[in-house]
């Protein structure tokens, strides 16, 4: 159990929030393992922590400050769970012999790690945070006879996120950011007055007039932007329902947010950001199609990553089929059985997996692919 070699990138930039590792020696046009190729699934690319296949591994980065260490071991290294927050293992098929950090859209971004050659490897992916930096370790060792699908060994970040706020879907970015800025002022001063908010904006480079700039300025070309026009129309309707003036600036959103229940207080005494605001569904009359879209967005935010973990289990099982109970899957992914069931419902609805069950409740997860498994079972 010896560390053979290691390389490190202390200032890695995860493009689109993904750490991407590819096998530089593998020609992506060659015949591969079918369901393990990089673009063979519509599942979330990085899952809750990491997902791998034939010649690629994606890790779900959640921080701009990222340090990545790649290690090659001559055998499975000892577990050091106490020093990491999230730890999982996944198989990886290598066709060339050199893996490297790359940008999602292609091109090298980091150092290369030379492996002993082509074959099946096991990769332990570990993540932790230290002083605002996400530290990652990807430990490789040869696993030529391995058959085990991915497994989580420690999980701190929940497999399923809390439901997003309805307001995140309804409000444009700037009015939502106003609440974040007010929360920052509130933590420092308590009640948030307009004077404090204006001063905060000046101190943080937003200018003296940042509360009064038009949110939907007239386009220079004279041609209206359809997206901005639709967004503006919806805000006008929501303001009418709340009984406030149609807001055109961030200052105008102060009474809007107050009427919506996102703020408490008033202009005279100062505002405070409400920690748990009421649902937009209880405050507003929303069209059925708008509610359906919000439900879809909420399901994606909550279940897409765990559904990707479940999809990876099937992809790494013989023939792309895995039989297990909800409890078995929950144990492997370190989450709750009922969350597994909900994520499987999401995966089935999105066509990521074909999910069945027998009379005893035992589940069958099948990866949907057209050509059938090859001779190796993948």
Q: Where are the domains of the chain?
A: 3-161+300-366, 166-278
Tokens standing for residue 346? 């999401």
Measured CA to CA, the distance from residue 192 to residue 64 in angstroms comes to 29
Q: Taking a C-beta distance cutoff of 8 angstroms, is the pair 273, 179 a contact?
A: yes
Q: Write out the H or E segment, with its range, that includes residue 290.
A: helix 288-315
| Residue labelled with tokens 């929501």 | 238
Predicted pLDDT of residue 230: 87
Structural element, H or E, at residue 70: strand 66-73
Three-state SS letters, 178-229: HHHHHHHHHHHHCCECHHHHHHHHHHCCCCCCCCCCCCCCCCCCCCCCHHHH
pTM of the model: 0.84
What is the structure's pLDDT at 65? Answer: 84
Give alpha helix (H) positions in 225-284: 226-242, 253-260, 280-283
Q: What is the CATH number of domain 3-161+300-366?
A: 2.60.34.30
Structure tokens at 142: 């040869």
DSSP per residue over 295-322, as a string?
A: HHHHHHHHHHHHHHHHHHHHHTSGGGEE
* The predicted structure's pLDDT at residue 176: 95
Output the CA angle 39-314-360, nearest 5 degrees.
150
Joined together, the tokens standing for residue 279 give 């649902």
Q: What does the DSSP assignment read for 334-370?
A: TS-HHHHHHHHHHHHHTTS-EEEE-TT--EEEE---S
Q: Do 310 and 343 form a contact (C-beta atoms < 8 A)?
A: yes
| Alpha carbon distances (Å) from 40 to 32, 126, 183, 197, 323 | 11, 25, 42, 49, 21
Q: pLDDT tens track of the chain, all 378 residues?
A: 789 999 999 988 888 899 999 997 655 544 445 689 888 899 999 999 999 999 999 999 976 689 999 999 999 999 999 999 999 999 999 998 899 999 887 777 778 999 999 999 999 999 999 888 999 999 999 999 889 999 999 999 999 998 888 999 899 999 999 999 999 999 999 999 999 999 999 999 998 899 999 998 877 766 667 778 888 999 999 999 999 999 999 999 999 999 999 999 988 889 999 999 999 999 999 999 999 999 999 999 999 999 999 999 999 999 999 999 999 999 999 999 999 999 999 999 999 999 999 988 899 999 996 544 443 332
Give the integer Cα–Cα distance in Å for 190 and 181: 13
Shortest CA distance to 171 belongs to which of 252, 226, 225, 243?
A: 252
The partner residues of 90 in beta bridges, in order of sequence, read: 123
Q: Are 121 and 142 in contact (CB under 8 A)?
A: yes
* pLDDT value of position 376: 37
- Through-space distance between the first and last CA atoms of the chain, rounded to whole angstroms: 30
| Alpha-carbon separation of residue 62 from 50, 106, 132, 152, 350 (angstroms) | 12, 20, 11, 18, 24
Q: What is the CA radius of gyration of the chain?
A: 25
d(CA 67, CA 59): 12
């Amino acid at each position: 159990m010896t560390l053979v070699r290691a390389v490190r990138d202390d200032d890695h930039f995860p493009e689109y929030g993904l750490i991407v590792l590819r096998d530089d020696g593998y020609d992506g046009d060659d015949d591969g393992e079918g369901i393990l190729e990089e673009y063979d699934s519509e599942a979330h690319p990085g899952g809750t922590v990491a997902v791998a296949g034939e010649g690629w591994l994606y890790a779900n980065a959640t921080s701009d400050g990222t340090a990545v260490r790649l290690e090659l071991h001559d055998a499975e290294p000892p577990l050091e769970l106490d020093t990491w927050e999230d730890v999982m293992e996944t198989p990886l098929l290598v066709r060339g012999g050199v893996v490297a950090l790359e940008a999602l859209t292609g091109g090298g971004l980091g150092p290369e790690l030379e492996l002993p050659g082509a074959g099946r490897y096991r990769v332990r992916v570990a993540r932790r945070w230290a002083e605002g930096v996400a530290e990652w370790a990807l430990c490789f060792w040869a696993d030529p006879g391995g058959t085990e699908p991915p497994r989580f060994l420690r999980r701190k970040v929940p497999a399923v996120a809390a439901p997003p706020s309805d307001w995140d879907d309804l409000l444009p970015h700037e009015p939502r950011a106003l609440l974040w800025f007010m929360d920052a002022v509130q933590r420092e001063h308590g009640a948030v007055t307009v004077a404090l908010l204006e001063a905060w904006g000046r101190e943080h480079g937003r200018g003296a007039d940042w509360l009064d700039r038009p949110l939907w300025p007239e386009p220079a070309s004279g041609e209206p932007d359809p997206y901005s026009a639709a967004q503006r129309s919806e805000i006008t309707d929501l303001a009418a329902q709340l009984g406030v003036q149609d807001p055109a600036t961030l200052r105008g959103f102060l009474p809007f947010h107050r009427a919506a229940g996102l703020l408490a207080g008033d202009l005279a005494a100062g505002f405070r950001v409400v920690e748990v605001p009421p649902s937009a569904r209880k405050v507003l009359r929303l069209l059925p199609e708008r509610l359906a879209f919000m439900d879809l967005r909420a399901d994606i935010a909550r279940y897409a990553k765990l559904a990707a973990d479940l999809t990876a289990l099937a992809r790494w099982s013989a023939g792309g089929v895995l039989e297990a109970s909800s409890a078995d899957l929950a144990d492997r992914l370190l989450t709750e059985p009922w969350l597994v069931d909900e994520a499987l419902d999401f995966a089935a609805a999105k066509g990521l997996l074909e999910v069945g069950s027998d009379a005893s409740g035992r589940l069958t997860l099948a990866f949907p692919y057209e050509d059938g498994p090859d001779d190796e079972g993948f």
